[in-house]
Amino acid sequence: MTRAAAASTSLDAPPQVDVDRQQILRILTKHRQGRGTLVAVLQDIQARYGYLPEQALRAVADETGRPLVDVYGLATFYRCFTLQPRGKHLISACLGTACHVRGAPRIVKEFQHQLGIQAGETTADRQFTLETVNCLGACALGPVVVIDGHYFSKVRKSRVRQLLEEALTGFDKADAAQAERTFPIDVSCPRCNHSLMDEDFPIDGRPSIRCTVSFDRLHGWLRLSSLYGSSSISAEHEIPPQTVVSFFCPHCHAQLVGRSVCAACEAPMVPMLVRGGGTVQVCSRRGCPSRDLEVS
């Protein structure tokens, strides 16, 4: 899978995202306006759009009355902010001292060769962004590569192609089967406390979580994997990506809706009680990986 043919080294016209001024205003009112909150505002904007669009920065400067040069200076100062749209999958290759002596430059070169881009660039099909970082804090495991939040240690040149293929299919699917970081949870309805577990319909080899959902005048069942960390689902009706779905308890038919909203996409979070104490919240937007576990 050499993507060199499909990729270009420069992005002449990056597709501009339409910036909704109301969205920016909502983010600004969430953080009370002040000097100290600008980083938090920019973080929220980046979480919403995946990068910091020029229009958004101009809107922030307009609305807060701060000079654009200050907003721009801050946005270019921190490594976590980017003014260029990023690809769907983010590859961070560590070039710290320990990784460097363990051959990280060869790994980066191999990624560049496979993707046909330089470090810091995005492939033309907007699938991958390759960036180098200076230390990921796992020096004993070097060379370290992080793809979409998943850490890979002692990466060899021969593994690069396989990693890229896995990234395209999604690590979540591959992970749920054997990774130790995922663990099963038993949940129940926060209103009637009936168990939502369905042993007759296993997902990832575990009893699934049964809910009823409605969206776009469609009503049907939805089964979620009970492995915390897995995104596997099964649904009666195909749910288009990015759709915000209403969740209901199959026993008391109460809507499962909490007060909080997703930090990443601002869709309502769906609360469920965890057997043993605590709550788990999952984002109601299809495709959004946000989930939050609170154990009490």
Partner 1 sequence: MIRLRINGLDACVEEGSTLLEAARFLGLPIPTLCHMDGLSPYGACRLCLVEIGTGAQARLVSSCTYPAEEGLTVRTASSRVLRARRMILELLLASCPQSKTIQDLASAHGIRQQRFRQEHEDCILCGRCVRMCQEQMMAKAIGFRGRGGDRSIGTPFDVTSEVCRQCGGCLYVCPACQLRCTSAQPEEAICGGCANLTPPCIEKDRFDDLMCSLTPCVACEIARES
Residues binding partner 1 (CB under 8 A): 54, 57, 67-73, 76-79
Residue 37 CB, nearest approach to partner 1 (Å): 19
CB atoms within 10 A of CB 124: 18
Residue 23 CB, nearest approach to partner 1 (Å): 21
Residue 89 CB, nearest approach to partner 1 (Å): 25
Q: How far apart are CA 189 and CA 199, in angstroms?
A: 16
Q: Which is nearer to partner 1, 54 or 216 (CB)?
A: 54
Residue 84 CB, nearest approach to partner 1 (Å): 12
The three-point CA angle 87-228-183 to 5° equals 125
Residue 139 CB, nearest approach to partner 1 (Å): 21
Q: Which is nearer to partner 1, 81 or 171 (CB)?
A: 81
Residues 6+ apart with CB under 8 A from 121: 9, 11, 129, 130
Residues 6+ apart with CB under 8 A from 135: 94, 96, 97, 99
Q: Which residues pair with 274 in a beta bridge?
A: 187
Q: Which is nearer to partner 1, 73 or 287 (CB)?
A: 73
For 166, half-sphere exposure in the C-beta direction (CA atoms, 13 angstrom radius) is: 17
Q: Which is nearer to partner 1, 54 or 165 (CB)?
A: 54
Beta strands in 26-66 (DSSP E): none
